[in-house]
Amino acid sequence: MTRVALRGIRAHVVRFVLSLLAVALGVAFVAGTFALRTMLSSTFDGIVSASAQGDAFVRGSQETVSSSLSQENVGEVRNELPIKLTSTIEQVDGVAVALAQAQGPIVLVGADGTAVQSTQAPSFAYGWDDQDRSMTLVEGRAPQGPDEILLEQATLESSGLTVGDTTTVVLGGEVRQVTVVGEAQAGGPMAGATIVAIDPQIAEQLYAPRGTVPIITVYGEDGVSQQQLADDVAQALGDEPAEVVTGDAMREELSSDIQQMLGFITTFLLVFAAISLFVGAFIISNTFAMSVRERMREFALLRAIGASPTQVFTSVLVQAAVVGLLGAGLGILGGFGLVEAMRGLLESMGMDLAGDLPVDTFTVVVSLLVGTVVSVAAAALPARRAALVPPVEAMRDDVAATDGTLTVRAILGTALVAFGVGGVVTAVLRPEADAAGTLLGAGAAGVLVGVLVLAPVLARRVLGFLAAPAVFALRPIGRLARGNVVRNPRRTASTAGALMIGMALVGAAAVIAASTQASTKSLVEQEADTDLVLQSAQTAAIPAQAVTDLRGLADVASVEPFAAAQVLAAEGGGTPGLDDGTVVVGLDPAMVGESLIVDEIDGDPGAAMAAGEVAVQKSTAEDRGWSVGDTVTLSGSGGQDTFTVGAVFESHALGTELAVSQDVLDTLVPSDEQVVQTVFVTMAPGADLESVRADVTQVVKPYVVISVMDTDEFISSLADQVNQVLVILYALLGLSVVIAVLGIVNTLALSVIERTREIGLLRAVGLGRLQLAGTITVESVLTALFGTILGLAVGVGLAAALPTVFAEQGLSTLAVPWGSLGVMVGLALLVGVVAALWPAIRAARLPVLDAVASE
């Protein structure tokens, strides 16, 4: 039977090509995802090896929380160590050198006058040390004093600067004119990071003002093992709150932490790969269903000459497995091609991926298994149908495959939709329940699957309605097309179902994006009463000096920064634990009710903060059981104190859990660890907005990365962030739509083969070539419209429940982008026309006599 199955594939190659291509596209996503993760992992492992070359590392032994929101930590955060410990460590036998390098953010201005930045890689400066083995001086000399810098080789190239050039940096919140005095080479690619070396004393003053650093790197003398070095250093440190790990252990730990971070990317991409494969399964199932329908007599003959139902069943699955394997093989090649394209894109943005294209056994095996399993599973039902054909059917001249009634599907689909709608309605009616989000997700899944099951039941009525304009305006082809698409509702629904899934997800994403933008606009308009908003474009922090400079402008009435930091918070006089981390914002109490409008739930937030008390967000108060009058202990890197909860408020624009006065925040967290993310600027009465804006822009211009916006532009910038995410989602979901289009092409092509004699008869009684091509085109358009409209209706309907369920998280306004949805319907028309081109041309070219004589 295996030979029979393979001959069937060779005899009907065209029939299986598009199914093979559908598998290839889905598997390409899977293979590409794993290959991209491997390449990213290799790149970051190279960065770890290049930047963490020590033989041993000394770090804090007590886990803590970082106060700085701008600090990007890989792994857990620990207590910092005194820099003076380096002299103790260097006295240990076997230690060659101990380095305590202070580092922090910097803005480097390139030769073109703009900030040097690439992708989302960090920009940092550190204290240069000639004994640091992770960097090698290749030109010039080490930086000395506050006016000299040294650049890493890739940074120097991307900046357009050369050794000896003068440029500007924003360092420690100050604008400085500096000279590039040297160039250094890292031990490996740094993935687009902007790396600047400065005088070590300046680095300590700026980044280690309390004389502490997170880690001390230890290099051993030749012949000393890492473990022996670590043991000896640990013994010398005695009771210090520090632990010593070997270099290999530290590098392995850092790599493990990075792998966990990359795991999210892998999962995210695999979700879209699964969607694509699920859509592809519809094509495969449809292909084999139509193939089985056409070959009923062949299967009956096999049964008549002794083949068992199991053998027939197996022969069809063997064909599916071959399609899956070949498609998966092409998909693997396509996936590697995607990764190469991604590598080129990232390199153009300044992020170099290390290593060759990873062709590992795991990726190949998983991709082949996925392609094969999906194909076999999709072909199982058609294979069962082939296996159950009675041998007596071989005696007939014409074997007609009969479809069962749709009663069972109608009952099951209705039940699933009812279950799904019940879950969605329950979530909408009780959004405050802990399980509201889970109910909404389960309900949405139930509705989507239920509509897929019900699609054949809906097809006749919906397609009859959609076909009405074509029946009226395009005679006789409109009536012929309508008859063809409703004659087999299962096939039409299966073909349209692939497109329905993609369009449901696209429609939901469009509604979520529009609602997010509308909610953001509403919140800003309701809660922010200011003239200008300042934000940093790169470092997420606005220097304190910039705020001071702005306050000196004559036409500016107020400059109100929002300084944020992380602290530990616990109720009463208890000691906060590491799980009690929270974000607190420090601001001028006078701005509450003036430029910042919040919803006062209990008490006056402005008065509470002015009195040295804490104002708590409503959601935080509910989660932690806090109310006005309770006491909370806040602990930051600068100190710990107990405060009274003076007010409970609600503000989505503020976006932090706790709010205190700036004076209180300064007692908890040093100013250098606070991040000023946003500044409100209000102009003096009677001042001209454009004039004030020009003055503000001139003041912040030297800081390079600060954006000056009015409220409309600020809202637009937030909307642009949503649009960037939306573009990524559309691109990823677009693959499922492309596969769905292949499904329409495949079904129409197979339908032409199946209806060859019918087409010949139509031509014989006077139907022209163009009319025949038009009939097939209208069929394609109707199928595409059915899938698109049904999908958009489901996606938009389900997404409409989100603002109610997630109103507490800021998604407060429902917005349906009718224009975008109209474009998608228009796209469905275009998709239908394009999908029909090849099948229509093929049908029109069929010789009339040969078609009439076809069996």
Q: What is the DSSP string of 186-206?
A: ESS--TT-EEEEE-HHHHHHH
836 versus 754: the higher-pLDDT residue is 836
Name the pLDDT band for 539 (thresholds 50, 70, 90).
low
Q: Give the gyration radius of the chain's Cα atoms.
A: 33
State residue 238's pLDDT score: 85
The answer to whether position 642 is within a domain reads yes
Question: Residue 40 is encoded by which pair of tokens?
Answer: 């990213």
Alpha helices in 704-815 (DSSP H): 711-754, 756-764, 769-799, 802-805
pLDDT of residue 164: 93
Q: Is residue 761 part of a domain?
A: yes
- Hey, what are 322's tokens? 């071959």
Task: Identify which has the larger pLDDT, 411 or 294.
Answer: 411
Nearest to 183, CA basis, from 132, 128, 126, 141: 141
Strand partners, 136: 185
20, part of any domain: no
pLDDT the model gives residue 652 = 76
Q: Decide: helix, strand or coil at residue 500.
A: helix
Kindly state whether residues 494 and 628 are assigned to the same domain.
no
In terms of domains, do 746 and 840 share one? yes
Q: Which residue has the higher pLDDT, 841 or 338?
A: 841
Model confidence pLDDT, tens digit, residues 628-681: 999 998 888 788 889 999 999 988 777 788 999 999 999 998 887 888 878 999
Q: What is the mean pLDDT of residues 108-137?
A: 84
Instruction: Let me know if residue 138 belongs to a domain.
Output: yes
SS3 408: helix
Residue 191 confidence (pLDDT):
65
In this structure, the answer to whether residues 599 and 715 fall within a common structural domain is no
Residue 751 lies in a domain: yes
Q: Which residue has the higher pLDDT, 672 or 58?
A: 58
Return the pLDDT at 114.
Answer: 85
Q: What is the pLDDT of residue 742?
A: 78
What pLDDT does residue 188 have? 67
- In this prediction, residues 229-247 reach a mean pLDDT of 90
Q: Which of 207, 233, 255 is the last residue of a domain?
A: 207
- Determine contact, residues 344/31, Cβ cutoff 8 Å: no
The answer, yes or no, to whether residue 181 has pLDDT greater than 90, is yes
| pTM for this entry | 0.77
Same domain, 687 and 567: yes
Pick from 363, 272, 368: which is nearest to 324 by CA? Answer: 368
Model pLDDT, residue 399: 47
Q: Is residue 623 located within the same domain as residue 550?
A: yes
Average pLDDT, the chain: 84
Same domain, 187 and 166: yes
Give the pLDDT score at 550. Answer: 92
343 falls in which pLDDT band (50, 70, 90)? confident
Same domain, 742 and 685: no
Domain boundary among 182, 207, 232: 207
β-bridge pairing 581-587 and 706-710? unpaired
Across 73-82, 303-312, 584-593, which has the greatest mean pLDDT?
A: 584-593
> What pLDDT is attached to residue 396?
57
Tokens read off for 687: 């001042």
The arithmetic mean of pLDDT across residues 215-229, rounded, is 91
Is residue 509 domain-shared with residue 552, that is, in the same domain?
Answer: no
Answer yes or no: do 737 and 832 share one domain: yes
Dist. CA 250–CA 78, nearest whole Å: 14
Measure the CA–CA gap between 504 and 788, rounded to whole angstroms: 8
Residue written as token pair 């060859």: 756
Q: How confident is the model at residue 404 (pLDDT cuts 50, 70, 90)?
A: low
CA distances from 574 to 568, 583, 675 (A): 11, 19, 27
Q: Are residues 747 and 653 in the same domain?
A: no
The residue-averaged pLDDT of 59-80 equals 65
Scanning 658-710, the segments in alpha helix (DSSP H) are 662-668, 689-700
698 and 554 share one domain: yes
Q: Find the length of the chain.
A: 855
Confidence class of residue 353 from pLDDT cuts 50, 70 and 90?
A: low
Mean pLDDT calculated for residue range 710-728:
80
What per-residue confidence (pLDDT) applies to 286?
A: 78
Asked whether the predicted pLDDT for residue 71 surpasses 50, the reply is no
The answer on 681 and 549 residing in a single domain is: yes
Query: Is 9 domain-assigned?
Result: no
Ranking 9-23, 204-218, 747-761 by mean pLDDT, the lowest is: 9-23
Buried b (16+ CB within 10 A) or exposed e, 783-810: bbbbbbbbbbbbbbbbbbbbbbbbeeeb
Q: Give percent of the chain above pLDDT 90.
A: 25
The string of pLDDT tens digits covering residues 593-633 is 888 888 899 999 999 999 999 999 988 888 888 899 999 98
Cβ-proximal residues to 150 (8 Å cutoff; 6+ apart), any chain: 128, 137, 140, 142, 143, 180, 181, 182, 183, 184, 196, 197, 198
Least confident of 295-299, 476-480, 785-789: 295-299
- Of 185, 207, 229, the residue that ends a domain is 207
Is 564 within the bounds of a domain?
yes
The pair of three-digit structure tokens given for residue 98, joined into one six-digit string: 């101990």
**Into how many domains does the chain fold?**
3
Q: Is the pLDDT of residue 389 over 80?
A: no
Q: What is the pLDDT of residue 789?
A: 93
Domain that holds residue 134: 103-207
- If you average pLDDT over residues 501-529, what whole number do you get? 86
Per the domain annotation, does 220 fall within a domain? no
pLDDT digits 0-9 by tens, 363-373 = 888 889 988 99
Both tokens of residue 424? Answer: 């969605």
Classify residue 11 by burial, with Cβ atoms within 10 Å: 0-12, 13-18, 19+.
exposed
472 touches 478 (CB < 8 A) = yes
